[in-house]
Amino acid sequence: MRVFGSADFDDHEQVTFFADPGAGLRAIVAIHRSGPLGIAGGGCRMWPYASEDEALRDALRLSRAMTYKLALAGLPAGGAKAVVLGDPARDKTDALLEALGRAVDGLGGRYVIAEDVGTTPRDLQVIARATAWVRREAGDTAEGTALGVLRGLEVAVRRRLGATDLRGVSVAVQGLGRVGRRLCAHLARTGARLVVADLDPARARAIAAELEATAVGARSIYDQAVEVFAPCALGGVLDDATIPRLRCAVVAGSANAPLAEPRHADVLAARGVLYAPDIVIGAGGVLAAASGDDARALAERLDGLAATLEAVFARAERERITPLVAAERTARERLEAGP
């Protein structure tokens, strides 16, 4: 396992490996930047990784993306990520979560843990038995994330297709978890036509019935003739095998790091697909967390997300670069400029 020499290592400030055999815990916490306040935020992912390398890669990539996401969202914190190696359905116990809480506590507040794929608000409550460094309001982030994706999707559709609203626009949503199913409900309200898929076919069928959508198998979601493909499952789904199958004009969804490699942004652009970078469009959850109960503040911040995405698309066109490169450049400039 290479760390400093890994392609995903970006001078991360701290990468810590935790093991508690008694509790069955194996976890990595990567702090990319601790930000001006010395605090880094980021979700905790629990996943049955095929290898330790894969888990480390996820921690490095996702923590870096979190720093960029927060910088683009104008929030004064750094980015981090925790990954727990294991199957949440089988391996997650209160003892494991408490051990994870002790691990987070040992970082002394440099890392504030939140939920992500494989962890829930209830898990955070168990983790909180062992540490105060838990984002309490995390329960609402999925709704904020879905609202942010909706706004970003509208911006991308307007830019690429000239459509002023989503009425009649067809969207294929991959993944109907906390974010995906909320996004579907919002899209249905706007009059979009939905094609949905989840690894759990019963979930896809139920949502299709509720929203008058079409459910397809998880494997065939890439092949749908739609205007928008919305990845809301895991990262790394768009690669050399799946991109050629896409029949859409826009990719816009919540999934963190949906491109298998950065070069896939060029592959999408070469096919005329407008890609809304995850580090911009996926920020609704952190904006919701920063806004607390203040609905007006959230609405203003979501306007800011839409404006940032418009600026990123404009910069990409002006500088003849992909939206991903434009977003990363903008994020780096904001980080260098400081708070």
Whole-angstrom distance, CA of residue 150 vs CA of residue 253: 8
* Residue from 70, 184, 213, 232 binding ligand NAI (CB under 6 A): 232
Active site residue 81: yes
> What 3-state DSSP class applies to 37?
coil
> What 3-state DSSP class applies to 58?
helix
145 binds ligand NAI (CB under 6 A): yes
Stretch that binds ligand NAI, among 51-59, 158-166, 230-238, 294-302 (CB under 6 A): 230-238
Nearer residue to ligand NAI within complex by CB, 267 or 286:
286
The full length of the chain comes to 339
Contacts of 230 (CB under 8 A, 6+ apart): 149, 153, 171, 172, 173, 174, 180, 183, 251, 252, 253, 254
Q: Which residues on adjacent β-strands are paired with residue 82?
A: 29, 44
Nearest to 16 by CA among 61, 66, 60, 69: 60
Contact 80, 40 (CB under 8 A): yes
Report the C-alpha dihedral over residues 79, 84, 87, 89, rounded to 10 degrees. Answer: -70
Site string for ligand NAI, 159-188 (x = CB under 6 A): ---------------xxxxxxx--------
> What 3-state DSSP class applies to 8?
coil
Whole-angstrom distance, CA of residue 64 vs CA of residue 5: 16
Whole-angstrom distance, CA of residue 264 vs CA of residue 277: 12
- The minimum distance between CB 317 and ligand NAI, in angstroms, equals 26
* Residue from 79, 152, 235, 277 binding ligand NAI (CB under 6 A): 235
Stretch that binds ligand NAI, among 184-192, 251-259, 262-270, 307-315 (CB under 6 A): 251-259
- The minimum distance between CB 183 and ligand NAI, in angstroms, equals 9
Which residues between 92 and 131 bind ligand NAI (CB under 6 A)? 116-117
Nearer residue to ligand NAI within complex by CB, 174 or 322:
174
* Residue from 71, 197, 243, 306 binding ligand NAI (CB under 6 A): 197
Whole-angstrom distance, CA of residue 127 vs CA of residue 114: 10
Nearer residue to ligand NAI within complex by CB, 88 or 109:
88
- Report residue 16 as tokens: 């810590």
Report the C-alpha dihedral over residues 63, 16, 84, 109, rounded to 10 degrees. Answer: -70
Which residues between 50 and 79 bind ligand NAI (CB under 6 A)? none
Stretch that binds ligand NAI, among 46-54, 151-159, 192-200, 302-310 (CB under 6 A): 192-200
Whole-angstrom distance, CA of residue 230 vs CA of residue 313: 18
Which residues between 274 and 293 bind ligand NAI (CB under 6 A)? 282, 285
DSSP state of 73: T
- The minimum distance between CB 178 and ligand NAI, in angstroms, equals 4
256 binds ligand NAI (CB under 6 A): yes
Helix (H) or strand (E) holding 125: helix 121-127
Nearer residue to ligand NAI within complex by CB, 110 or 181:
181
Of 81, 181, 193, 301, the catalytic one is: 81
Residue nearest to ligand NAI (CB): 177
- The minimum distance between CB 242 and ligand NAI, in angstroms, equals 10
Active-site annotation, residues: 81
Binding site for ligand NAI (CB under 6 A): 116-117, 141-142, 145, 174-180, 197-200, 218, 232-235, 254-256, 282, 285
